[in-house]
Amino acid sequence: MVTGSTQHDHHVPLTDTEVLRIRNDFPILETEVNGKPLVYLDSGATSQNPLSVMEAEQEYYEQRNSAVHRGAHTLAVEATDAFEDARETVAGFIGANSNELVWIQNATAGLNLIAYAFGNASTGKTSEAAKRFALVPGDEILVTEMEHHANLIPWQELCRRTGATLRFIPIHDDGTLDLQAAEVLLNEHTKVLAFTHVSNVTGVINPVSELTAMAHSVGALVVLDACQSAPHLPLDVKALDVDFAVFSGHKMLAPTGIGGLYGRAELLDAMPPFLTGGSMITTVTMEEAGYLPAPQRFEAGTQPISQAVALATAANYLRETGMDRVHAWEEFLGQRLVAGLEAIDGIRVLGPAAGVPRAGLASFEVDGVHAHDVGQYLDAEGIAVRVGHHCAQPLHRRLGLNASTRASTYLYNTTADVDAFLAVVAEIRGYFGVEGTQA
């Protein structure tokens, strides 16, 4: 397992001076949008890539591009080594063993993989070991009201296919999870608890260890959506004791088309496969096939090899910067965002108030102005944010909204970025002629 760098004291937050140096690694941040310097506050959707990550992918194609786990020629061996070294690096980044990391297209694909594998265990001929994943009418899957659609719809569909029942843990008005309700909802019928580590809308950081202990006490498996945590805070899946976790590379400085699915080794080896074909088999006859152990049993077909190499480079970049430092800096920026927004008339911030721990993002409503108009006004000033329901319609509905505007930070954002954003937000209601009015 790759160990952390000792290049920095990882408990000291980043500073604006260091962040300005970090920005030099990200060429896109030097661009202009609508004649204004780009202020990129949409990393919650997709992060930017440092030069080292882009170079790693290019170098792979220039020097060792070949099919992995096939062929004995030199390039094939070098490609396979690079591919599996990347797996070890990325597994180490989240505190897992390399045989517990499955390469996936993105977190959505990973959650579907788990749900379909459980569904495959619920129908037809399956191994004795796989029966623990089978669902029948009367069984329950528990999610939360704050889930991204990717961690909701696959479970809706699995329940539809198996007859199991989907339930959800409600949230409080401040966006935090109702843990008392969770205790009641978790019972002997609960087979799966699937929830997000960090809300992509409110920035709420859920108490993973507490929820996991509650789920395990009734024998339920825990699936963690780590999309907004793996890039932004120290993540140790073993310490958290979750059974499965998913994350996407494009949110953590890596290319699109690559992500990771963590599963406990004994669970992955017992799960039936989802996609079948080449590269995941042992023996094939015209009547049946045998499957490799994990992680290969879940990696049918040609793999995202260059993307995996680039994701490993991104993981090393973050490790060398120090995830504790990244998290501390983003929490500082997140608090600056929330406090600044709360000080502007006619702005409603979703989620916890300033002073409550949160991730480095803030979603908000501008009274009297639609979120899309807010986003366009910001874009005219070179500021990139996300508008809409952020793939979390039930959460927005619970908070009484159809859409919101979200600003999300990363390790390359400065206090000046946040302040520029706040200054423009303060102009919006006046520009649209709704200042001093109440919708």
Active site residues: 391
Name residue 378's amino acid. L
Alpha-carbon span 363 to 306, nearest angstrom:
34
Number of H-type helices and E-type strands within the chain: 14, 17
User: Which residues are paired to 384 by β-bridges?
Assistant: 40
- Sign of the four-CA dihedral 197, 202, 203, 205: negative
Could you give phi then psi for residue 129, rounded to 5 degrees? -65, -30
Q: DSSP letters along 334-389, please?
A: HHHHHHHHHTSTTEEE-SSPTTS---SEEEEEETTB-HHHHHHHHHHTTEE-EEE-
The CA-to-CA distance between both ends of the chain, in Å, stands at 56
Copy the structure tokens of residue 188: 């002997």
13 touches 328 (CB < 8 A): yes
Length of the chain: 439
